[in-house]
Structure 1
């Protein structure tokens, strides 16, 4: 990290946050606009709408894989060049998604889109960190992340309307003009900032860590869409766990590992990371399961299903300021344990939704889910980073971002595997109908989420709710 910020003219400093905000908005919108379109896409591609999760998982997993390398790539090839390439790659991937005529081609296009998406947000934050003085950092970061909060609010509704009145292809095509504008703005307004120095990259560690994520995710997919024999699933799962074990054994004695094993000597970080991994499984399943249930099981139109998601996003935005007050009053242990249990209960109670459920009651239920979910994210992110010193905060923040993305993708894979299993039971008569399969899936996901409360019970009851003074660290913008 440079010790001083470069001297940039006032025009560049004024327009730079707007350029980064364009990229953040593209990625945030794309993360939520797709869920409402899955049934329509499945029909167009002659696929089962209950087995379309690979389109979401491919994107999330690609982002999780590349986040650890984003800083090194920026230093190696230049921040401006990588940021421009990220927007261009994301836009090109969107075009490929729009012209896909098979599920395999669509998944491949989503991987390309994810390559760009994985670099846009961390490199955008890196530009701000290196271009602005510390006194301007919080204000600038708050400005550029505001569009990321608008994405979940607009995405499901815009996606639903595009699918219903145009076609699913337009959920990707709308990225292209925004991407062209972003590329032009990067060339014009983003300076060629100096990197933090080319450091040695832990390529072996990156390979082991990445292999573990891919193998474990494919194992989960093997129980769902891929429908692999159980023996292969077990082999993939153990292979992934072996790669992860090898990584952490190696990280404990190499000089500059991808993520230092020393991070886990900080108790709050270790509890926060493990809690993030398991508590986010339910949060990852929700935006995948809910639009599918509304359309496939309850007969909602795409636009109606998309608009039904608005209370989730609105409540999440309004609940943000409550997190700090709740933590200051009750402390991390009580807030996270109680909120995790409440989140699991709200997810499990989605099993009570039927065709006779009043629509207003469903919207209230979703609003509570959105608010509790938002409080969960804020508290988990804070407790994970609060006790890290300045030397390890950047590495800890990067690992938190990776774990959050990985957990969301595993949540989708887990929910899809459960839904696929219960859907197969419909044919044998063990489950009454498709809605019954969704209800049982929500029940299981809620129970899994509640189990994560036992992790947060390991926090010290004497842990101070106030964060120690330190330079502000960007919070991972990863929410369901």
Structure 2
């Protein structure tokens, strides 16, 4: 670390304080995402487009994250984590203001891209600060503290979104980020140390451009493929370009001394398995917040407020998992937990395909509560064990790589859900998506996430033992090369 850089206040805050400050930024981001998902049908009517086409408003944000996150570690190392974190919150808040001023879907997409530019630096840099501040034996606990305020966003998001679009103008969805953003900037400047990296490796400009073009083409190609019709050939062309440029990046990365996305990290077994299995699971995590509110409002005819009160059950389940994750991982270990919980969480979300308008709301709420509980355990485990064997010198690179794929697969999940919904509607001859079409989409995305279980089985039996305490002594940190 740069010893010349001092914290804003005398003394270094403990990891709980740092985690809660970072979580305040995550709260704003998660609140925005869940409120927006509930409001999509109302916003679609305001812009004069169909509700499924509003998926681009979600995809645009995640696209911006996926393209810019690879640079987050390098930027934080060069300019300092406090400076980058504060600026990122400011950009996100500015993007929120512009979203509130949108009069058309294209302008909203532009504003969401700007929001994503802030989010691309905000969360990866925040997690990097936490990783550098916490011993491995405290990491599960630190992640738990990080999730507390962050989970409040999804909990209050759906009912707040339903209330806003029912009783107020949907633009207030974005205005509520302003006071949260200002408070976040103040707390960051007060408590976060402006840590810089020890090395000054050259910035991989060519790799940044190649990875950005590849990810952008792939995501927009998948997003447009969900619309069918004349967009089909163009979307296929985008995906082909994305794949070709992606291959070019792989060839470039093998030669560059410090590639923007360090593919050599995939040689580390715990990191590789967490990336692959976590990516498969995130297909469902990305699709569910998009599909569920649409099904409840379009398929069931519920109001936005009613839909919000039901969908916040998932976040309630996630909150309940906070206190149980550490004990579960300590008793069963990472591998056993991930193998069996991958199956459980996938089947629970598949149960959403059975929802029908005549189901009691209490039953739907109960299913979604358990879904959130199981999925929260899944990602707490993935997000922790990924760094089990990562040396301190490669934490920044690993965090950028992992977060890039995390956001990429969340966006891909939205695209897969929208594509499956459209394909079912077209094949059934429906002018608009029906409840049955939503059921097909849920089954498609959960079938993909089931594949995470056999991948997780490849983890060593003692993976993450130092973090979970599953086996006394654990295993030594691997020296990655």
TM-score for both structures, normalised by structure 2: 0.86
Distance, in Å, in 1 between the alignment partners of 2:146 and 2:350 is: 35
Asked if the contact 2:20/2:149 (under 8 Å) is kept, the reply is: no
Q: Which residue of 2 aligns with 1:196?
A: 197
Q: Which residue of 2 aligns with 1:450?
A: 450
Q: Which residue of 1 aligns with 2:387?
A: 385
Distance change (3 Å), C-alpha of 1:400 and 1:192:
closer
Q: CA deviation at 1:140?
A: 8.0
Matches within 5 A, 1:416-431: 416-427=418-429
CA deviations 1:391-419 (Å, max 9, x no partner) are 33332232111111111110001101111
Q: Which residue of 1 aligns with 2:441?
A: 441
Q: CA deviation at 1:80?
A: 4.8
Superposition RMSD on alpha carbons, in Å?
3.2
Q: Which residue of 1 aligns with 2:109?
A: 107
Task: Specify the SS of the correspondent of 1:238.
Answer: helix
Q: Which residue of 2 aligns with 1:478?
A: none
Residue 30 in structure 1 maps to residue 32 in structure 2? yes
Distance, in Å, in 2 between the alignment partners of 1:411 and 1:269 is: 21
Bigger mean CA deviation after superposition, 460-469 or 50-59: 460-469
Distance change (3 Å), C-alpha of 1:456 and 1:186:
closer
Bigger mean CA deviation after superposition, 145-154 or 69-78: 69-78
Q: CA deviation at 1:359?
A: 1.5
Matches within 5 A, 1:382-421: 382-421=384-423
Distance, in Å, in 2 between the alignment partners of 1:233 and 1:184 is: 43
Matches within 5 A, 1:453-468: 453-461=453-461, 463=463, 465-467=465-467
Q: Which residue of 1 aligns with 2:245?
A: 243
Q: Which residue of 1 aligns with 2:153?
A: 151
Distance change (3 Å), C-alpha of 1:470 and 1:158:
farther
Out of 44, 52, 55, which is 1:42 matched to? 44
Asked if the contact 1:149/1:317 (under 8 Å) is kept, the reply is: yes
Equivalenced residue count is 467
TM-score for both structures, normalised by structure 1: 0.87
Distance, in Å, in 2 between the alignment partners of 1:37 and 1:397 is: 32
Distance, in Å, in 1 between the alignment partners of 2:222 and 2:39 is: 23
Distance, in Å, in 1 between the alignment partners of 2:475 and 2:122 is: 29
Asked if the contact 2:352/2:439 (under 8 Å) is kept, the reply is: yes
Distance, in Å, in 1 between the alignment partners of 2:24 and 2:311 is: 23
Task: Specify the SS of the correspondent of 2:255.
Answer: coil
Q: CA deviation at 1:424?
A: 2.7
Distance, in Å, in 1 between the alignment partners of 2:446 and 2:391 is: 35
Residue 327 in structure 1 maps to residue 329 in structure 2? yes
Task: Specify the SS of the correspondent of 1:345.
Answer: helix
Q: CA deviation at 1:313?
A: 1.0
Distance, in Å, in 1 between the alignment partners of 2:343 and 2:188 is: 44
Distance, in Å, in 2 between the alignment partners of 1:109 and 1:470 is: 46
Distance, in Å, in 2 between the alignment partners of 1:8 and 1:428 is: 60
Asked if the contact 1:18/1:144 (under 8 Å) is kept, the reply is: yes
Bigger mean CA deviation after superposition, 252-261 or 46-55: 252-261
Unaligned runs of 5+ in 2: 468-473
Distance change (3 Å), C-alpha of 1:196 and 1:419:
same
Distance, in Å, in 2 between the alignment partners of 1:17 and 1:280 is: 23
CA deviations 1:77-129 (Å, max 9, x no partner) are 45554334323222221111111111111111100111112222334455667
Q: Which residue of 2 aligns with 1:71?
A: 73
CA deviations 1:267-317 (Å, max 9, x no partner) are 222121111111110111111111111111111111111111222112112
Q: CA deviation at 1:355?
A: 1.1
Distance, in Å, in 1 between the alignment partners of 2:238 and 2:95 is: 28
CA deviations 1:339-393 (Å, max 9, x no partner) are 2222222222212111111211111110111111111112222332222233333
CA deviations 1:207-263 (Å, max 9, x no partner) are 222222111111211211475554433332232222222222332332112232321
Distance, in Å, in 2 between the alignment partners of 1:178 and 1:394 is: 27
Matches within 5 A, 1:56-205: 56-77=58-79, 79-125=81-127, 146-183=148-185, 189=190, 193=194, 195-196=196-197, 198-205=200-207
Distance, in Å, in 2 between the alignment partners of 1:210 and 1:452 is: 26
Asked if the contact 2:7/2:193 (under 8 Å) is kept, the reply is: no
